[in-house]
Every structure is written in structure tokens, then in C-alpha cells.
Structure 1
Amino acid sequence: MPRIEPLTPPYPADVAEALRKWMPPGVTQEPLALFRLLQHHPDLASRMRVLGAGLLAHGELPALDREIVIARVCALSNCPYEWTVHATVFADQVGLTPDQLQATVTGATDWPPNHEALLQALDELHATAHLTDETWRALSSHCNTQQLLEILVLAGWYHTISYVANAVHLANEPWAAQYPS
């Protein structure tokens, strides 16, 4: 049971409009529980939406790299809610194989060097909030300055989302993939 229940329909007009902005155009399903939860604080939700949407739709990272970052950060943060949403909605779309997706949780698989560097960086950030010079060099050999900054902000953003979803005990979306055990 969530500690804070996501809002449920019928929504007041201003909440319905705010939730519509969170969801992609043409989607007919109910807005995500996370979005309905955040609408308890509309000002915070509107500020968060801008950054979240920008990271998902307007980033410099390849979509596959973006989803590896999101999946690994959510896995490291033990956040099944957000991991399963992205696994269901984006993984196949961006070419993240089932084995790779599983490996974002287990840490095991053979990745190309650019993704090895990315995963190493995410693991270090999670463990220490720092990157070693060696990891920075490896990552920067595959990424430009904009991408490096985006990785750091994206990882932090999904760490924040994981904090929220985990702290309120947000239940997985009923249509979402299963989280690996």
C-alpha cells in the first residue's frame, strides 16, 4: 500500500490538464502512478516534468545509452517501479535486449566498451558519488562533453525518482514487465 496514494479520477480540470502534459500524445491509458502521485504537489510536479521530459525526448545521448543509464540506476536503487515502466515502454524500442535488460539488474553480460564504461561510471556514482580518473577517461573516450553532463544529470534524476517511488512504496504499474528477482 503506498504511503501517499496517487490521485484517481475524476480529476479536477487543472489536474487532468497537468497529467495530460506528462503523458505522450495519443496515449489512452491512465497516467502513470508516479505522475498522479506528484500531482499532490502541482508546483513541484510541473518543475519536475520539464526536466524529465527534456531528458527523455531532447537529450544528446543515444536512446539506448539513456535507457541503460535509467535501468541501471533504478536497479542499483532497487526501484522496481521505474525499472519496470522503462523495461516495458522503452527497452525494445531502443534495442535493449532481454539479456542486457536483465544484466542492468544482475550486472552480468558482455557489453561493448562504451557501455562497459557507462555501467562502470553508474556503479561508481551509486557507490561513492564520485568517478575515478580511470572511469572518467574511459567514459569520456566514448562521450562528448554534453553527453557526459547528461549522463550525470540523468543518473541523478533517476536516483531522485527512485527515492520517491521507493519511499512512498509505489506499486508497479499493472501492465509493466516483471522485475528480475
Structure 2
Amino acid sequence: MPRIEPLTPPYAPEISEALRKWMPPGVAHDPLQLFRVLHRNPELASRMRVLGAGLLAHGRLPAEDREIVIARACARTGCEYEWGVHAATFAEAVGLTKKQIDATVTGDPTPWSPRQRALIQAVDELHDSANLSEDAWNELAGHYDQAQMLEFVVLAGWYRTIGQLANSLRLDNERWAATFPA
């Protein structure tokens, strides 16, 4: 049971409009619990939406790499909630296989290219130390430009924050979301 109960319909008109902006057009399910909890503080939610939406829809990293970073950051925080949302809605759409999606949790290195392994190792370093070694930085810099490197660090940190938030709120998994592999 969540520590802060998500808002439920009927929503005030301004909350309804704000929640609509958080969700992609044509989505068949209700706004995510996370979004409905955040709207208990609409000003905070609106500030968070700008960065979150920018990272998802306007980023410079390839979509597949973005989802690897998100999945691994969520897995490292133990956040099945956010990992499951992305695994169910984005991972396959950007070309990740089931084995790769599962490997973001299990740590299995076999389904990854050298570039993808470098991404995962860099997420792990950031998670463990809040820093990147010279080796990790240089490995990524061989694949990404400076703008993408900045985005990578922000993306990994953002989803660590989201993981901490969802875990601290004790959000139940969305009914349609994926669950961590056994």
C-alpha cells in the first residue's frame, strides 16, 4: 500500500489537464500511480515533468541506449515499479529483447555489445560511487559526443531519483507492468 495515496477520479480540471500531459497520446490505461501521487504537490510535479519528458522525448541518446540506462538504473535501485513500466512500454519498442531486458536486472553480460556493456558498467559506477572512473568515462566518450555524455549522467541520476521516490512511496506495480525476472 502506498505511503501517499494516488489521486483518484474525478480530478479537478487543472489536475486532469496536467495528468493528460504526463501520459503519451492514446494510452489505454489510467495515469500512472507515480504521476497521481506527485500531483498531491502540483508545483513539484510540473517541474519534474519538464525534465522527465525532455529526457524521454527530446534526448540525444539513441532510444535503445536510453532504455538500457533507465532499466539498469531502476534495477540497481531495486525499483520494480519504474523498471516494469519501462520494460512493458518502451523496451521492446526500441528493439531490446526479453533476454536484454532481463539482463538489466540480472547483470548477465552476454546479450550486450561492447557499447552497451560500457553503458551498464557506467550506470553501475554511478550507482555505487556517484562518480565515473577515467576508464568508464573514456569508454563512453568513444561512443558518444559531449552532449550525449552530459545527458547520460543526468539520465542515470534522474532514474535513480525516480527509483528512490517510487520505492520510498512504496508504490504497487502497475497492473499491466512487467515484473523483475525470477
TM range (shorter): over 0.9
1:86 Cα deviation after fit: 0.2
Listed as ranges, the gaps of 5+ residues in structure 1 are none
Q: Does the aligned pair in 2 maintain the 1:100–1:109 contact within 8 Å?
A: no
In structure 2, what is the equivalent of residue 159 of structure 1? 160
Deviations along 1:126-164, one digit per CA (max 9) or x if unpaired, are: 001111111111111011101100000001110111111
Distance in 1 (alpha carbons) for counterparts of 2:113 and 2:143: 11
Is the deviation greater in 106-115 or in 157-166? 106-115
Q: Partner residue of 2:125? A: 124
Deviation of the 1:177 alpha carbon: 1.3
Query: Normalization by structure 2: what TM-score?
Result: 0.97
Aligned equivalent of 2:42: 42
Q: Distance in 1 between matches of 2:156 and 2:63?
A: 14
The residue that corresponds to 2:147 in the other structure is 146
Matched-pair contact (CA < 8 Å) for 1:72–1:105: yes
- Three-state SS of the structure 2 residue aligned to 1:66 is helix
| Deviation string, structure 1 residues 48-72 (Cα, Å, up to 9, x no partner) | 0010000000000000000000000
- 2:38 and 2:106 map into 1 onto residues whose CA distance is 30
Q: Contact 2:72–2:123 at 8 Å: present in 1 too?
A: yes
The answer on whether the counterparts of 2:109 and 2:117 sit within 8 Å (CA) in structure 1 is no
1:29 Cα deviation after fit: 1.8
Q: Is the 8 A contact 2:19 2:35 kept in 1?
A: yes
DSSP-derived class of the 1:155 partner: helix
SS at match of 2:143: coil
Distance 1:136 1:48 in 2: 27
> Following the alignment from structure 1 to structure 2, what is the Cα–Cα distance between the partners of residues 154 and 126?
12
- Cα drift, residue 77 of structure 1: 0.3
2:23 maps to a residue whose letter is M
- State the alpha-carbon separation in 1 of the partners of residues 102 and 21 from structure 2: 31
**Which whole-Å deviations, capped at 9, do the CAs of 1:62-121 have from their partners, x for residues lacking one?**
000000000000000000000000000001100111011111001113211111111111
1:1-181 counterparts in 2 under 5 A?
1-110=1-110, 111-181=112-182
Over aligned residue pairs, what C-alpha RMSD do you find? 0.8
Query: What is the one-letter code of the residue matched to 1:21?
Result: K
Measure, in 2, the Cα distance between the counterparts of 1:160 and 1:123.
Answer: 15
Between the two proteins, the alignment pairs up a number of residues equal to: 181
The CA distance in 2 between the partners of 1:47 and 1:74, in whole Å, is 21
Q: Gaps (5+ residues) in structure 2?
A: none
Cα distance in structure 1, aligned partners of 2:176 and 2:138: 40
Letter aligned with residue 147 of structure 1: Q
Counterpart amino acid of residue 152 in structure 2: I
Distance 1:159 1:101 in 2: 18
Letter of the structure 1 residue corresponding to residue 167 of structure 2:
N
